Chains A and B, each alone.
Chain A
Amino acid sequence: MNRREALQRAGLVLGYAVSAPVLAGILNGCKAQPELTYKPVFFNEDQAGLISEVAEIIIPRTDTPGAKDTGVPGFIDQILRECYKKEDQDRFMAGLKAFDEGAKSSMGDSFMGLDPAKQQEYVKKVHDEAIAAKIDPKERPFILMVKELTVVGFFTSKPGATQVLQYEAVPGAFHGCLPLAEVGKTWATS
């Protein structure tokens, strides 16, 4: 699935008021789980749900689109599957498991069992600890691996590049020293 398809699917799913999985959840009397905006291949449904929520916490929808809107969860699923070495996949998956177990021990429930505020609090805590530890980029812990993929996936997406940042396909000229106020936002590509 390419990024366009991912976006189309996300758009389609978002178009429904109540979609099948949500409906099923309500019928079963369970707490409604946020639906997946793509069909995972590398992750199982539970893992995919966790990745989607973490990515959305890292880059949420604001007045501009967020991680889910731009197909980031599907991007993470695909890049892990196609571009990561087996040992890096394993490290990622072990990190995911530990991250979820950490939620249980420190927040009292599995990550997906936490309410959105608690999820956010937990992600922030784990993230800030990881940043403070100043670990070699090659040894990035799970939360920073997800952050890296979310940031890359988001800012290389069309909404990330053109709505949050600015993008010019054919600049036509180069100016090496202009007032920032004249140029405006960060360029999406360099």
Chain B
Amino acid sequence: MNLNTEAQKNNTYDAIVVGTGISGGWAAKELTEKGLKTLVLERGRMVKHPDYPTATKDPWEFENADRPTQHDLERQGVQNRTGYTIKQSTKHWFVDDVDNPYSETKRFDWMRGYHVGGRSITWGRQSYRLGDMDFGANAKDGVAVDWPVRYAEMSPWYDYVEQYIGVSGSVEGLPQLPDGKFLPPMELTCVELDLKKSMKEKFGRALTIGRTAHLTAPLAHSPQRGTCQFRNLCSRGCPYGAYFSSLSSTLVAAEKTGNMTLRPNSIVHGLIYDEKKGKATGVRIQDAETGEQTEFYANVIFLCASTFGSTSIMLNSISDRFPNGFGNDSGELGCNIMDHHLNVGASGEIAGFEDKYLSGRRANGFYIPRYRNVANDKRDYLRGFGYQGGGSRQGWQRMVAELSIGKELKDAAMAPGMWSIGMGGFGEILPYHENKVTLNKDKKDKYGLPTLTFDAEIKENEIRMRKDMQNDAAEMLEAAGAKNIRSHNGAYGPGLGIHEMGTARMGKDPKTSVLNKFNQVHACKNVFVTDGSFMTSAACVNPSLTYMAFTARAVDHAVSELKKGNI
């Protein structure tokens, strides 16, 4: 009895954070800086900044020119569906699909890595704010449920997280894409500047440099982080700490407080719910290495395990009070899966800049903010899309299809090829109740834990939007004088955008949503969910910045509620 009490005491913290990615890192930083003793649980292995094994390797140091082997694909074939993630230089940041299986009723691409830092190591770093157009979209269109917040409420939180992580970008004054607190923008290339001019003149549309979480100037509050070196090897991990990751930034801040206990190899598989208190009292974990089961306790719990990670934990947390999954009174838990649909756009060659070239490798491109269904524009579908693209000169890769061989080939390769511009759309997916993920207790993973089954698809609204995404791109390139324009509208499986969202949405009404406006579970106020699962609609912009802003705000609310004794 005494032993048990002692164990319970040792395993008790003020707060528990599940996950160490974008959201978990922020929750850890904010909670520990506010003085809470915080246990941070990560299901994967330990990674410490700047220990990124491939980060400084040159191209010739990789086997097989960095391509995946057949053996790699046997283990990580699903993770390779992106076509760019499973390489010798990056494959260690993605799960082994054989050990971590899932089921897909329809094609579903679930791209993820299990390690400290999560996908904050491999994320695309593009950082945009949702605006009033986005927060008001569901109400205006009568789709799903209304967001319980508006931009004015979120704006200071966006300011706060942007200034902390460092976002490079350019102020544009567009109503549909709020500006932020930016570090100096990166340069556009010759042909991108040309396209920008033609788009403004011929279409009245904007083109801006990508807003990206890279330091283009030092940050006084994060002296451990250096500025961007323009190597464009980001997804290997940045030894300079130049782009934001939880490893280089938020977890460093949390560690510094002395209030963080970070426990890797800790697979959370359930929340402990106390019926009498009407609260969650802790979490159950399984040690990934030893299989040992342990319980940890805290006053407040932040689920930041990624959209499907958190949803999976909640679906697996069954009690008399919550027979259908934790906090699932509404029946919406696991529903409304969203992503951004992509793999549609165009490319073309641009003449007239043959005497120009570039130097350095910019891990960023241009951004064309949404213009469809904005102001007076009306389409036969709801919402819209933005484009991300880049314009540069072709390299040696073009030699394969060119006529020269021998000395001629070597000589030709030494001169850069044509300038070309490519752009791809990121389209908003509506929240459909029937796009869902469920727990599969019949199929277990390597750890003997239940797996997930996905059943989601894009529908008529997205398919119509894709026609515009394809045609508009070609049309804008044509207007800019591009030649050999090729447009594409390729296969897309939900998840491929790696922006999964929505399976524990926030809303005003507990009958139709899982979380309230502060990311609190409606039915259990000391549990907060702040990863992508809270998203009520997807907007068309990259979502991570929004997760950060909501996480910081949720912690602020949680600590204030703790102090008031409300949770």
Contact = CB atoms under 8 A, between A and B. Distances in A.
Interface in A136-190: 137, 144, 147-148, 151-153, 155-158, 161, 164-165, 167-183, 185-190
A3 B60 contact: yes
Given A82-B71, A123-B405, A177 B413 contact: no
B381 interface: no
Interface string B348-376: 00000111111111100000000000000
Interface stretch (B29-37, B186-194, B277-285): B186-194
Contacts of B401: 131, 137
B180 interface: no
A190 B414 contact: no
A180 B356 contact: yes
Contacts of A183: 357-359
B152 interface: no
Given A60-B407, A147-B400, A181-B355, A83 B360 contact: no
Contacts of A176: 186-190, 192-193, 358, 362
Interface stretch (B62-70, B106-114, B430-438, B466-474): B62-70
A174 B360 contact: yes
Interface centre among B187, B190, B192, B400 (most CB of A within 10 A): B400
A124 to B, nearest CB: 6
A172 B360 CA distance: 7
A132 B396 CA distance: 20
Interface stretch (B228-236, B244-252, B289-297): B228-236
A59 interface: yes
B139 interface: no
B379 interface: no
Contacts of B61: 3-4
A158 to B, nearest CB: 5
Nearest to B354: A180
Given A60-B406, A176-B189, A177-B358, A170 B396 contact: no
Nearest to B67: A83
Contacts of B68: 83
A105 interface: no
A186 B417 CA distance: 8
Interface centre among B62, B189, B396 (most CB of A within 10 A): B396
Q: Chain B contact residues (Cβ within 8 angstroms of A): what range?
A: 35 or more
A85 B229 CA distance: 37
A174 B230 contact: yes
A25 B90 CA distance: 46
A144 B400 contact: yes
A161 B410 contact: no
Interface in B277-321: none
A23 B1 CA distance: 84
Contacts of A173: 230, 359-360
Q: Chain A contact residues (Cβ within 8 angstroms of B): what range?
A: 35 or more
A169 B417 CA distance: 21
B65 A79 contact: yes
Nearest to B193: A177
Contact of B356 (A2, A75, A179): A179
A82 B65 contact: no
Given A83-B64, A183-B359, A169 B231 contact: yes
Contacts of B229: 170-172
Nearest to A143: B405
Nearest to B355: A180
Interface centre among A62, A79, A178 (most CB of B within 10 A): A178
A81 to B, nearest CB: 9
Interface in A39-92: 57-60, 62, 64, 75, 78-79, 82-85
B47 interface: no
B481 interface: no
B403 interface: yes
B53 interface: no
Contacts of B397: 151
Interface string B165-181: 00000000000000000
A177 B356 contact: yes
Contacts of A175: 187, 358-360
B399 interface: yes
B198 to A, nearest CB: 16
A124 B407 CA distance: 12
Contacts of A64: 410
A171 B65 contact: no
A154 B403 CA distance: 17
B195 to A, nearest CB: 12
Contacts of B362: 174, 176
B354 A189 contact: no
A75 B66 CA distance: 12
Contacts of B354: 180
B231 A186 contact: no
B416 interface: yes
Contacts of B392: 190
Nearest to A170: B229
A82 B188 contact: no
Nearest to A79: B64
Interface string B50-94: 000000101111111111111100000000000000000000000
B181 to A, nearest CB: 22
Contact of B413 (A4, A79, A158, A164): A164
A157 B60 contact: yes
A189 B232 CA distance: 9
A19 B417 CA distance: 41
B187 A58 contact: no
B382 to A, nearest CB: 36
B486 to A, nearest CB: 13
Contacts of B479: none
A184 B395 CA distance: 13
B58 A178 contact: no
A153 B65 CA distance: 7
A57 B69 contact: no
Nearest to B364: A174
Given A178-B356, A178-B358, A186-B396, A169 B58 contact: yes
A45 B244 CA distance: 51
B143 interface: no
A124 B403 CA distance: 9
B405 A161 contact: no
12 contacts: A3-B60, A79-B65, A120-B406, A123-B405, A137-B401, A151-B397, A174-B362, A175-B360, A177-B353, A177-B356, A183-B357, A183-B359
Given A62-B407, A180-B355, 4 more contacts: A131-B403, A156-B62, A168-B360, A179-B355
Interface of A: 2-4, 57-60, 62, 64, 75, 78-79, 82-85, 120, 123-124, 127-128, 131, 137, 144, 147-148, 151-153, 155-158, 161, 164-165, 167-183, 185-190
- 8 smallest beta-carbon distances between A and B, as pairs: A174-B360, A176-B189, A176-B187, A171-B360, A177-B190, A183-B357, A82-B69, A174-B362
